[in-house]
């Protein structure tokens, strides 16, 4: 059975996905599932020029197994008209754990988009400073929109006038997204001075500087997946570092590796109470995306179809 994105739109919601992702993160940190690091192949075109990357992400949890194949081709952003394509494309196969029987193959683009934002929503709910009222978004693409939607669900104050402030290198896109989401397009320093700051850029070098941040704030770093890529400068990374996955952060995050930052705890450990919430001050949550999250999203779609 193939489930296209058009069908997934009506089956997957943040109301279901956010609490499911919270349980999955706790299970991951407690060792109740199997998930190796993703396997990533850097792809060159036939002339030998870098084109993108191709990754394989398997996981086993509960009564299900899943594997996602995902590609990232930044050049797709220049395609228009009938040839238009997202930069990230993915497929997820869901299988029965007991028998290995394939249950469904589904488009993974929207699941990836929503589960990424759901992870950030879980982290924000747990780690944001008390009384957080403002959300700064650095970026203006698909993940920027998804994060505004998801974080407003767990921190409703972000839905108030002036609650969301957006910066992007592309001022036109930032302005358009601000109108769409009832937000404000601002300078990067103003976005960075919010209570919660989310970086969802395609940057390869730091764009967020720690000197712009409030003394007590939460930074959620979502872009820059790769050991040589960064969005956050060394000053940002001096805050309390909470990882989605300690193993992932120490192998796949340039923000962590190149700054020398040390992981205080995994978010699943904090949610379960096996690690204490870090004291007030700057907190940094590094998100890289995990196969268990794709499995969780795929299971939510499958269960909605069969309910």
Tell me the backbone φ, ψ of residue 125, rounded to 5 degrees. -60, -35
Q: What contacts 229, CB < 8 A, 6 or more positions away?
A: 203, 204, 223, 254, 255
- pLDDT given at position 228: 87
- pLDDT given at position 74: 82
Q: Could you count the other beta carbons within 10 Å of the beta carbon of residue 156?
A: 10
Q: Could you count the other beta carbons within 10 Å of the beta carbon of residue 276?
A: 10
Same domain? For 177 and 234 the reply is yes
Does pLDDT of 124 surpass 90?
Answer: yes
Q: What is the CATH number of the domain that holds 77?
A: 3.30.1780.10
Tell me the backbone φ, ψ of residue 78, rounded to 5 degrees. -90, -10
| Domain membership flag for residue 137 | yes
| Domain membership flag for residue 58 | yes
Does pLDDT of 17 surpass 90?
Answer: yes
- pLDDT given at position 230: 95
Query: Chain-wide mean pLDDT for the chain?
Result: 95
Q: What contacts 77, CB < 8 A, 6 or more positions away?
A: 87
Does pLDDT of 77 surpass 90?
Answer: no
* Section 65-94 average pLDDT: 89
Q: What is the 3-state secondary structure (H, E, C) of the chain?
A: CEECHHHHCCCCCHHHHHHHHHHHHHHHHCCCCECCCCEEEEEECCCCCEEEEEEEEEEEECCEEEEEEEEECHHHHHCCHHHCCCCEEEEEEEEECCCCCEEEEEECHHHHHHHHHHHHHHHHHHHCCCCCCCEEEECCCHHHHHHHHHHHHHCHHHHCCCCEEEECCCHHHHHHHHHHCCCEECCHHHHHCCCEEEECCCCCCCCECHHHCCCCEEEEECCCCECCCCCECCCHHHCEEEECCHHHHHHHEHHHHCCCCCEEEEHHHHHHCCCCCCCCCEEEEECCCCHHHHHHHHHHHHHHHCC
Same domain? For 139 and 261 the reply is yes
- pLDDT given at position 202: 82
pLDDT (tens digit, 9 = 90+) per residue, 185-198?
A: 999 999 999 999 99
Query: What is the percent of the chain where pLDDT is above 90?
Result: 85
The single residue listed with the structure tokens 């009222």 is: 133
- pLDDT given at position 291: 96
Start-to-end Cα distance in the chain: 16
Same domain? For 71 and 141 the reply is no
Most confident of the following: 70-79, 216-225, 260-269: 260-269
| Domain membership flag for residue 120 | no
Same domain? For 104 and 143 the reply is no
- pLDDT given at position 26: 98
Q: What is the CATH number of the domain that holds 281?
A: 3.40.50.720
Same domain? For 162 and 256 the reply is yes
Which domain does 156 fall in, by range? 129-290
* Section 107-111 average pLDDT: 96
Same domain? For 218 and 103 the reply is no
Same domain? For 270 and 133 the reply is yes
| Domain membership flag for residue 117 | no
Same domain? For 166 and 206 the reply is yes
Q: What contacts 46, CB < 8 A, 6 or more positions away?
A: none
Most confident of the following: 61-65, 69-73, 77-81: 61-65
Does pLDDT of 9 surpass 90?
Answer: yes
| Domain membership flag for residue 140 | yes
| Domain membership flag for residue 217 | yes
Contact between 255 and 232 under an 8 Å Cβ cutoff? The reply is yes
| Domain membership flag for residue 57 | yes
Q: Count the domains in the chain.
A: 2
Among 228, 268, 231, 224, residue whose Cα is nearest residue 246: 268
CA distance 277 to 117: 21
Q: What contacts 4, CB < 8 A, 6 or more positions away?
A: 106, 107
Same domain? For 297 and 286 the reply is no
Same domain? For 29 and 88 the reply is yes
pLDDT (tens digit, 9 = 90+) per residue, 221-275?
A: 998 888 888 999 999 999 999 999 999 999 999 999 999 999 999 999 999 999 9
Same domain? For 105 and 197 the reply is no
- pLDDT given at position 249: 94
Q: How confident is the model at residue 104 (pLDDT cuts 50, 70, 90)?
A: very high
* Section 144-170 average pLDDT: 97
For helices 14-29 and 142-154, what crossing angle results, to 10°? 90
Does pLDDT of 1 surpass 90?
Answer: no
Same domain? For 138 and 234 the reply is yes
pLDDT (tens digit, 9 = 90+) per residue, 160-183?
A: 999 999 999 999 999 999 999 999
- pLDDT given at position 236: 97
């Amino acid at each position: 059975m193939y489930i296209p994105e058009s069908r997934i739109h009506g089956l997957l919601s943040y109301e279901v996905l956010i609490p499911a992702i919270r349980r999955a993160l706790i299970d991951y940190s407690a060792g109740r599932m199997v998930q190796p690091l993703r396997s990533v192949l850097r792809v060159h075109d036939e002339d030998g020029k870098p084109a993108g990357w191709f990754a394989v992400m398997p996981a086993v949890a509960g009564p299900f197994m899943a594997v996602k194949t995902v590609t990232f081709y930044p050049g797709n952003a220049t395609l228009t008209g009938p040839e238009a394509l997202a930069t990230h494309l993915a497929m997820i196969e869901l299988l029965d754990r007991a028998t290995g029987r394939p249950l469904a193959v589904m488009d993974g683009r929207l699941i990836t988009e929503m589960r990424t934002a759901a992870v950030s929503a879980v982290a924000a709910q747990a780690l944001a400073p008390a009384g957080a009222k403002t959300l700064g978004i650095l970026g203006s693409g698909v993940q920027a929109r998804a994060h505004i939607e998801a974080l407003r669900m767990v921190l409703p104050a972000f839905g108030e006038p002036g609650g969301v402030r957006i910066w992007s290198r592309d001022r036109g896109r930032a302005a358009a997204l601000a109108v769409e989401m009832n937000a404000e397009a601002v300078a990067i320093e103003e976005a960075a001075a919010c209570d919660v700051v989310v970086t969802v850029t395609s940057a390869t070098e730091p764009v967020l500087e720690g000197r712009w941040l409030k003394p007590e704030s939460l930074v959620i770093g979502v872009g820059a997946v790769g050991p040589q890529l960064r969005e956050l400068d060394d000053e940002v990374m001096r805050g309390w570092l909470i990882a989605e996955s300690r193993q992932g952060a120490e192998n796949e995050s340039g923000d962590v590796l190149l700054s020398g930052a040390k992981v205080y705890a995994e978010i699943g450990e904090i949610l379960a109470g096996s690690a204490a919430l870090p004291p007030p001050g700057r907190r940094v949550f590094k998100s890289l995306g995990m196969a268990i999250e794709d499995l969780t999203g795929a299971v939510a779609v499958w269960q909605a179809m069969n309910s």
